[in-house]
Amino acid sequence: MAENTARIAAPDWRDRVLTNPDLILEDRDLMRALIAANERQMGKNIVDLRGIAMERLEARLDRLEDTHRSVIAAAYENLAGTNQIHRCVLKLLEAENLAHLLDLLPGDLADIVRVDRVRLVLESPAPSKAPHPTVAPVDPGFVAEYITQRRAVPVRQVTLRQCNPASEWVFGEDAGWIRSEALLKIDLGEGKLGAMLVFGAEDPHQFRANQGTELLTFFAQAFECVLRRHLG
């Protein structure tokens, strides 16, 4: 019964392949089966260069497809990151005054960026008790030393790194569980002391030195403008 069914179906299958050979050419598993059958007919003493070439082309195609998927994934990730930063900037623009801005940092802003802690580090000639839980008052020169870790390197506007432990001057009691941080250097204008916005995360892989900083650089510049406006 099965043999009769196969015999009846064979002419129809043959006609379909002759009419549209892409049915076979586009089916990778079917092509492998045909090549394997051809190799069995040739015997073991014959090297099929076409088969070897096809295997190499398939391997190259697999690598290209993996690269293609990686590029698409990176594009989606960049788009999501861009949307996050845009939402943050719009939220900053909603701040009516400095107090409102400081309240936004550990609240809505931290939720959008998905970080565990946000601190605004402000240098002061005589650091005293912080006027707000988000503010960390420090001595003059602290920002540059903290970013560079006292090394003779340029002070970049955005620095991403892992930390263990984090600084108590920045994160206070939370320093013990912060494992990575994003440091955004803020310029408050000529004659003003240094400032820095810091994002802290418990995940040690959230901020790493090999990550891109373009979006956070844009955000730092936007935050700089808003903070200057509220400080007068």
**Residue carrying structure tokens 């912060």:** 178
Percentage of residues in the chain having pLDDT higher than 90: 47
The token pair at 55 is 């295997």
Phi, psi dihedrals of residue 131, rounded to the nearest 5°:
-75, -10
CA end-to-end distance (rounded Å), the chain: 92
Asked whether 24 and 33 are in contact (CB, 8 A), the reply is no
Q: Identify the pLDDT of residue 2.
A: 47
- How confident is residue 61, by pLDDT bands cut at 50, 70 and 90? confident
With a CB cutoff of 8 Å and minimum separation 6, the contacts of 38 are 48, 51
What DSSP character marks residue 193?
Answer: P
Mean pLDDT over all residues of the chain?
Answer: 83
* pLDDT above 60: residue 111: yes
- Highest mean pLDDT: which range of 2-6, 81-85, 178-182: 178-182
Asked whether 88 and 112 are in contact (CB, 8 A), the reply is yes
Amino acid at 210: N
Residue-wise pLDDT tens digits, 142-175: 999 999 998 988 899 999 999 988 899 999 999 9
CATH 3.40.50.300 applies to domain 96-231: no
Residues 128-138 have a mean pLDDT of 87
Distance, C-alpha 169 to centroid of its chain: 28
Distances (CA, A) of 187 to 56, 89, 131: 55, 17, 20
Q: Identify the pLDDT of residue 20.
A: 73
Q: Identify the pLDDT of residue 82.
A: 84
Helical ranges in 20-138 per DSSP H:
22-25, 28-42, 49-93, 98-104, 110-113
Residue-wise pLDDT tens digits, 165-206: 889 999 999 999 999 999 999 999 888 899 999 999 999 999
d(CA 98, CA 96): 7
This prediction has a pTM of: 0.68
- How confident is residue 53, by pLDDT bands cut at 50, 70 and 90? low
Nearest to 182 by CA among 79, 76, 75, 84: 84
> Considering only 28-37, 93-102, 122-131, 161-170, which range has the smallest mean pLDDT?
28-37
β-bridge partners, 197 = 120, 184
**Domain range annotation of the chain:** 2-46, 96-231
